[in-house]
């Protein structure tokens, strides 16, 4: 396993993060494919055995049970100080008008709730899951700074917003002497490279670590395009992100398959090797619901694509329309 600093911060993380969205009480929330606790635990154990020290979850995943599962797994399998736990805030967990968002009230309430569910007294990386258009960014950034000063959170991260929004939040924090974000978790893979326009250059210039979500495009870069799964059957996000450009995306996936066949490796290794080679990328967030998922991800760290292969992978790409982050 390779370890790097998360952006310009002092925090060292593995070059892969285990995404825990697939682990949680089945049927709760919007993730019917989630694995129950007994089936989730082996993947956390496998990740630790492979040297992964970076685990990513969110308060909304299976209505908090993902955090509960991860917290119990960490306590059972390793020492708390040896892992980096990231969780998120923003989404509504109930129908209450006070639920969700990035107000001071919501942040203070949800950070304590996440700490209880995780069974820990600090969160390594606290990520705002989305931009909140209804709350002044000054209120959000001051509240986040306060939870850092209180010792409940060590570092701050952001996810899935437009570059101008991210820049504004960073500027407000710097202006007031508040804690800045050290990471950006965005949608970035071979099928959607729109972040290369503004977000990735900004992150490189400012020393912000990048931890892309959906590095394998919901599995489309890891298997035959038309292969169905429980996830594809119940995931409306796929159609929003990949439906309008399906023909071009299929062409990219075919190149991934061709290079994988030539190399004698799984498709996932090729797609992840490309992503890991991008200058701004720190640690893709990979999901795992079968043992080979993590083995393939770790093997990708040692797969070096040559210039011709990289050109072949990038050539079929067509620009994608902006999809609002909801």
Query: Which two three-digit tokens encode residue 51?
Result: 């040297």
Question: Pick the catalytic residue: 3, 23, 61, 90?
Answer: 61
Instruction: Give Dmax (Cα) for the chain.
Output: 55
Three-state DSSP state, 259: helix
Contacts of 228 by beta carbon, 8 Å cutoff, 6+ apart? none
| C-alpha closest to that of 294 among 38, 9, 49 | 49
**b/e 66-83 (16+ beta carbons within 10 angstroms → b):** bbbbbbbbbeeeeeeeeb
Catalytic status, residue 171: no
| C-alpha closest to that of 187 among 229, 130, 125, 243 | 130
Asked whether the beta carbons of 67 and 118 are under 8 A apart, the reply is yes
Three-state DSSP state, 260: helix
Contacts of 269 by beta carbon, 8 Å cutoff, 6+ apart? 260, 263, 296, 299, 300, 303
**Active-site annotation, residues:** 61
């Amino acid at each position: 396993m390779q370890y790097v600093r998360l952006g310009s911060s002092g925090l060292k993380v593995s070059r892969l993060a285990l995404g825990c969205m697939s682990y949680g009480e089945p049927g709760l929330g919007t993730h019917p494919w989630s694995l129950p606790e007994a089936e989730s635990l082996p993947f956390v154990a496998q990740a630790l055995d492979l040297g992964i020290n970076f685990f990513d979850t969110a308060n909304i995943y299976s209505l908090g049970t993902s955090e509960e599962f991860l917290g119990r797994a960490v306590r059972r399998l390793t020492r708390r100080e040896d892992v980096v736990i990231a969780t998120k805030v923003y989404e509504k967990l109930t129908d209450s008008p006070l639920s969700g968002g990035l107000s001071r009230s919501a942040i203070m309430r949800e950070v304590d709730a996440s700490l209880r569910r995780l069974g820990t007294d600090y969160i390594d990386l606290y990520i705002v899951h989305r931009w909140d258009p209804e709350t002044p960014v000054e209120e959000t950034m001051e509240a986040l700074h306060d939870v850092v000063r209180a010792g409940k959170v060590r570092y701050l991260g952001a996810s899935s917003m437009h570059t101008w929004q991210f820049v504004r939040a960073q500027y407000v924090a710097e202006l007031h002497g508040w804690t800045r974000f050290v990471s950006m978790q965005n949608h970035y893979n071979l099928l959607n490279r729109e972040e290369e326009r503004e977000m990735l250059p900004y992150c490189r210039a400012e020393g912000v670590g990048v931890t892309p979500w959906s590095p394998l495009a919901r599995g489309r870069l890891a298997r035959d395009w038309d292969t169905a799964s429980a996830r594809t059957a119940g995931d409306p996000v796929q159609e929003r992100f990949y439906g309008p450009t399906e023909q071009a995306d299929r062409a990219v996936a075919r190149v991934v398959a061709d290079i994988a066949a030539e190399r004698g490796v799984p498709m996932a290794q090729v797609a992840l090797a490309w992503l890991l080679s991008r200058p701004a990328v720190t640690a893709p967030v990979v999901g795992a619901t079968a043992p080979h998922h993590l083995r393939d991800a770790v093997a990708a760290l040692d797969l070096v694509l040559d210039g011709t292969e990289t050109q072949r992978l990038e050539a079929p790409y067509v620009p994608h329309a902006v999809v609002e982050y909801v």
